C-alpha cells in the first residue's frame, strides 16, 4: 500500500497531477484500505475487478490475496506507473481503457478478460475499488444486469451515491440503482469517509459500501434485461403516475396490457413509480415475461 507521500512522489516523477475530471481522489488512509479488503474476505480462487486502480496501491494488496486481479485505469500515465510497480505480479492484468463502452455496458475488452478468468477460477467475481465518482453508478448497475455479473461489490463512493444505493421506496434518494441492488442482493453501508482520507480531498463525504448478490433473490427475476427496461421505463418518470408512464412504453413494452399487469400485482395505476418496492418491479417483470412469450 502506498502512503500519500509515495503517491505524490510517483506522480511528480512523471510530471502529472491528479485529474479531478476523472475523479482521481486517491485513498491514502491505509487502515481504511485494509478494511475494504478485509470486508471482501478475498480468497485465492476469487477474481477481483478494480476500476480506477491509479498507481496500484490497492492492486498490490489484492494481488496477494486473489487468484486474478483485473485492474482498469483510463489514465495512460497512471496505468504505466501501476504496470511498472506491479510487473512481478503475474496474477495482475492492468488494462488502460475506459471501463465503460457506453453508459449501459462494460467495455468488451474488460468483459472478455473477466469471462476468461471465470473459466480459470472457481471463486467469486468481486468488484473491489475506490470507484471514480464519474463511473461508479453505471459500473455497478452493469455488473448487476450483466452479461458479466459480480457476486459481490466492496467499494468507496460519494456519500450521495451511497444514500441512493441504500434508499427505501418513497424516499428522495430512491432510484434505479436502489431497485437493481435490492432486487438482487443485500446492500450495507460500512462506514462514512471524510474528505481527509483521500488525496486530493474531494469536496464531499464518501462512504464504504458492500453489496452481496443473493442467488435466491436474483433468480426470481425471469428476464434481467426486461427487468432493467421496465425499471428504467417507470423510474425514468418517477413522479408521473404508473398509468401515465405506461403510455410512454415503446417496442415490446408497448404490447403489454399494463392495466392488467397492475391489477394482477395488486398495484394501483395512480401510484407513482417511486412508491413501488423492488419486488413490485420483479412481479411486473415476471408477468410481462410470461405475456411476451405467448
The separation between CA 128 and the C-alpha centre of its own chain, rounded to angstroms, equals: 10
**For position 104, what pLDDT does the model report?**
84
User: To the nearest whole percent, how much of the chain has pLDDT over 70?
Assistant: 100
Query: For residue 103, is pLDDT > 90?
Result: no
**For position 251, what pLDDT does the model report?**
93
At 95, which helix (H) or strand (E)? strand 92-95
**d(C-alpha 46, C-alpha 65), whole Å:** 8
| Domain coordinates in residue numbering, the chain | 4-215, 224-293
Query: For residue 151, is pLDDT > 90?
Result: yes
Residue 291 C-alpha cell reads as 405475456
pLDDT band at 22 (very low <50, low <70, confident <90, very high): confident
In the predicted model, what is the mean pLDDT of residues 15-21?
Answer: 90
| Per-residue pLDDT reduced to its tens digit, 239-281 | 999 999 999 999 999 999 999 999 999 999 999 999 999 999 9
Query: For residue 59, is pLDDT > 80?
Result: yes
Query: For residue 20, is pLDDT > 90?
Result: no
Write the CA distances from 77 to 14, 53, 94, 156, integer angstroms. Answer: 8, 12, 12, 23
What DSSP line would sit under 184-219, residue for residue? HEEEEEEEEE-GGGEESPPSS-EEEEEEEE-HHHHT
Query: For residue 135, is pLDDT > 90?
Result: yes
- Give residue 262's region: left, alpha or beta (phi > 0; psi -120 to 50): alpha
In the predicted model, what is the mean pLDDT of residues 68-96?
Answer: 97
CATH fold group of domain 224-293: Helicase, Ruva Protein; domain 3 (1.10.8)
**For position 294, what pLDDT does the model report?**
65
Q: Can you name the residues that pair with 100 across neighbouring β-strands?
A: 106
Residue 211 C-alpha cell reads as 453489496
Write the CA distances from 55 to 2, 71, 78, 203, integer angstroms. Answer: 9, 11, 5, 22
**E strand spans, 124-282:** 125-130, 152-158, 185-193, 198-199, 206-213
In the predicted model, what is the mean pLDDT of residues 11-30?
Answer: 92
User: To the nearest whole percent, how much of the chain has pLDDT over 90?
Assistant: 95
Tell whether omega for the bond before 200 is within 30 degrees of 0, i.e. cis: yes
| CA atoms within 13 Å, Cβ hemisphere of 7 | 23
In the predicted model, what is the mean pLDDT of residues 77-98?
Answer: 97
Mean pLDDT of the chain: 96
> Would you call 146 exposed, middle or buried from its count of C-beta atoms within 10 A (0-12, 13-18, 19+)?
middle
Report pTM: 0.95
As a 3-state breakdown, the chain gives helix, strand, coil percent values, each rounded to 5, of: 45, 20, 35
**For position 290, what pLDDT does the model report?**
83
Instruction: Check if 4-215 and 224-293 are the same fold.
Output: no
| Per-residue pLDDT reduced to its tens digit, 205-219 | 999 999 999 999 999
**d(C-alpha 159, C-alpha 204), whole Å:** 7
In the predicted model, what is the mean pLDDT of residues 10-24?
Answer: 91
**For position 150, what pLDDT does the model report?**
98
**For position 223, what pLDDT does the model report?**
96
**For position 293, what pLDDT does the model report?**
74
CATH fold group of domain 4-215: Rossmann fold (3.40.50)
Of 23, 30, 26, 29, the closest CA to residue 55 belongs to 26
Amino acid at each position: 500500500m502506498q502512503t500519500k507521500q509515495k503517491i505524490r512522489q510517483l506522480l511528480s516523477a512523471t510530471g502529472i497531477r491528479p485529474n479531478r475530471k476523472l475523479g482521481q481522489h486517491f485513498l491514502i488512509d491505509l487502515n481504511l484500505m485494509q478494511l475494504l479488503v478485509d470486508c471482501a474476505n478475498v480468497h485465492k480462487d476469487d477474481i477481483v475487478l478494480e476500476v480506477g486502480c491509479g498507481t496500484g496501491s490497492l492492486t498490490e494488496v489484492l494481488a496477494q490475496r486473489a487468484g486474478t486481479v483485473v485492474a482498469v485505469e483510463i489514465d495512460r500515465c497512471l496505468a504505466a506507473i501501476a504496470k511498472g510497480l506491479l510487473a512481478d505480479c503475474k496474477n495482475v492484468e492492468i488494462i488502460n481503457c475506459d471501463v465503460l463502452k457506453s453508459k449501459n455496458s462494460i467495455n468488451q475488452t474488460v468483459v472478455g478478460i473477466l469471462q476468461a478468468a471465470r473459466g480459470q477460477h472457481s471463486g467469486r467475481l468481486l468488484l473491489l475499488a475506490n470507484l471514480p465518482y464519474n463511473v461508479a453508478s453505471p459500473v455497478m448497475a452493469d455488473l448487476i444486469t450483466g452479461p458479466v455479473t459480480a457476486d459481490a461489490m466492496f467499494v468507496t463512493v460519494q456519500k450521495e451515491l451511497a444514500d441512493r444505493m441504500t434508499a427505501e421506496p418513497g424516499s428522495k434518494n430512491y432510484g434505479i440503482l436502489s431497485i437493481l441492488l435490492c432486487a438482487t442482493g443485500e446492500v450495507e453501508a460500512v462506514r462514512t469517509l471524510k474528505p481527509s482520507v483521500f488525496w486530493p480531498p474531494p469536496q464531499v463525504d464518501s462512504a464504504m459500501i458492500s453489496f452481496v448478490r443473493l442467488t435466491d433473490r436474483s433468480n426470481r427475476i425471469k428476464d434481467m434485461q426486461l427487468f432493467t427496461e421496465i425499471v428504467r421505463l417507470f423510474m425514468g418518470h418517477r413522479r408521473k403516475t404508473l398509468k401515465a408512464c405506461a403510455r410512454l412504453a415503446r417496442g415490446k413494452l408497448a404490447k403489454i396490457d399494463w392495466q392488467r399487469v397492475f391489477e394482477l400485482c395488486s398495484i394501483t395505476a395512480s401510484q407513482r413509480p417511486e412508491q413501488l418496492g423492488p419486488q413490485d418491479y420483479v412481479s411486473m417483470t415476471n408477468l410481462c415475461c410470461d405475456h411476451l412469450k405467448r
